[in-house]
Amino acid sequence: MNKKIKLIVGARSSLFLPFADLGLIVVDEEHDQSYKQDEGIIYNARDMAILRAKQLNVACILSSATPSVETFENIVSKKFNRASLNERFHGTRLPNISCIDMRNAEKETNSFLPIELIHDIKKTKEKNEQSLLFLNRRGYSPLSICGNCGVRVDCPNCDAWLILHKNISKYKCHHCGYTEKSERECKNCQSSDKIIQTGLGIEKIDEEVNRLFPEMSRIVFSSDYLQSSSAISSALKQIKENKVDIIIGTQLISKGHNFPNLTYVGILDADFGLDVTDIRASERTFQILNQVSGRAGRVKQDSNVKIMTHMPDHPLLKSLIKNHREEFYETELTIRNSTHMPPFARLVAIIISSKNSGILQEYSQKLADINNFPKNIELFGPVEAPISRLRKYHRRRFLIRGSKNSNVQFYIKRWLGLLKLPPQIRITIDVDPQNFL
């Protein structure tokens, strides 16, 4: 407040500090979803920063290599100015990006990894350089089923599968944190030793890499393995000092780190976000794939990125391979415009939850019946949420879509105000939702 401090580096809450004479706000990695707080008061700190800068009449810089579609639209419509950095920090060339078509990729017997990838890892090691294998899936495998009766291993609190984590010998729910020990019998048929693990998780990759390259050193870079900031810094140090040959990482690895010896990136499953209905899925996938690819060749030349996919002709992957970012954004804006989705419309999600499913059902139906929105605001729902039960609460969702300049919040308040809220019901209002679970 007394102007002794000239620069403040802060998280979301720093926007609310009592500045004496604020002159500039920089929002780094502006596209990052973590600017959106998804619990408690739901707001997007990026938008708050823009608002704050506007009120104070000072500049606001949003920086990103993969801006959000909203920001790109603000550039196209000339609301924001754009400054481009056209060269990489060390002046290196961008990595060569190509796909490995998993529909017909050759595999060695007994291995689920394509021969091309195995060969690339060997070649990289021969040059004394590092490889990164990226898979955005924590744990050993995403699905565990009883081989005797076919019933899946579920969380008792949520409508979700439990994920096996071999490093702690436990099953874990990624939504509520519930755990149980991994030596368990099937809760349906009581048979033991018959639970089958299906699908790939990061621990399974680690196991396979160990089997194929026992002589190479490796590290698993995932929040389950690196739980403290000191564990993360020591892992980063080992990587930078070239003491690690293979890094096996989740999204945790994609953020801003600079690994001078890393020249090869294998993206093990690029299909996770290409075929889903969530309107932001392709934007997020594009951002993650770009960031992970960008880890390669930041200091050394001649780096390679290989993307394993069953959809090599997907437009998103094509723009990524050609490094035609604009093309991706333009396509995405065309789709959003023609389907009346943000940034061309406003969305608000209303999540209603209760431990009592009967009361939930009744209350949400009553809300649907008293729809009193004006013509330019549409009400969809209620529908069962994709995660229909979370931490023992049953959940139903409404989606409200308004034209760009409509005062959606006002009408939502008016609508919800018509009905008395039963004590067993919780309501969450999520403006500009980033996820639809």
Other CB atoms closer than 10 Å to residue 419's CB: what's the count? 13
Nearer of residues 189 and 421 to Zn ion, judged by Cβ: 189
Q: Return the DSSP state at 255.
A: S
Is-contact 274 282, C-beta < 8 A? Answer: yes
Q: How far is the CB of 185 from Zn ion (least distance, A)?
A: 8
- Report d(CA 353, CA 86) in Å as an integer: 48
- Report d(CA 15, CA 12) in Å as an integer: 6
Nearer of residues 153 and 265 to Zn ion, judged by Cβ: 153
Nearer of residues 176 and 399 to Zn ion, judged by Cβ: 176
- Report d(CA 85, CA 405) in Å as an integer: 33
Q: Strand, helix or coil at 426?
A: strand
Residue 265 identity? V
Q: Tell me the CA end-to-end span of the chain in Å, nearest whole number.
A: 42
Q: How far is the CB of 175 from Zn ion (least distance, A)?
A: 5
Which residues have a Cβ under 8 Å from the Cβ of 394 and sit 6 or more positions away?
Answer: 353, 354, 355, 356, 357, 360, 388
Q: How far is the CB of 155 from Zn ion (least distance, A)?
A: 3
Q: How far is the CB of 159 from Zn ion (least distance, A)?
A: 9
Q: Which two tokens stand for residue 100?
A: 């490995």
Nearer of residues 23 and 177 to Zn ion, judged by Cβ: 177
Which residue from 286, 296, 242, 289 is spatially nearest to 93, judged by alpha carbons? Answer: 296
Residues that bind Zn ion in the complex, under the rule CB under 5 A: 146, 148-149, 155, 157-158, 173, 175-176, 178, 186, 188-189
Q: Which two tokens stand for residue 347?
A: 């969305």
Number of residues in the chain = 437
Nearer of residues 50 and 158 to Zn ion, judged by Cβ: 158
Nearer of residues 190 and 334 to Zn ion, judged by Cβ: 190
Q: How far is the CB of 435 from Zn ion (least distance, A)?
A: 16
- Report d(CA 183, CA 144) in Å as an integer: 12
Q: How far is the CB of 354 from Zn ion (least distance, A)?
A: 17
- Report d(CA 289, CA 286) in Å as an integer: 5
130 forms bridges with which residues in the sheet? 262
R_g of the chain computed on alpha carbons: 24
Q: How far is the CB of 152 from Zn ion (least distance, A)?
A: 10
C-alpha dist (Å) from residue 87 to 65, 80, 92, 303: 12, 22, 8, 16
Nearer of residues 178 and 213 to Zn ion, judged by Cβ: 178
Q: How far is the CB of 189 from Zn ion (least distance, A)?
A: 3
Nearer of residues 186 and 425 to Zn ion, judged by Cβ: 186
- Report d(CA 329, CA 321) in Å as an integer: 15
Q: How far is the CB of 357 from Zn ion (least distance, A)?
A: 17
Nearer of residues 131 and 354 to Zn ion, judged by Cβ: 354
- Report d(CA 265, CA 306) in Å as an integer: 6
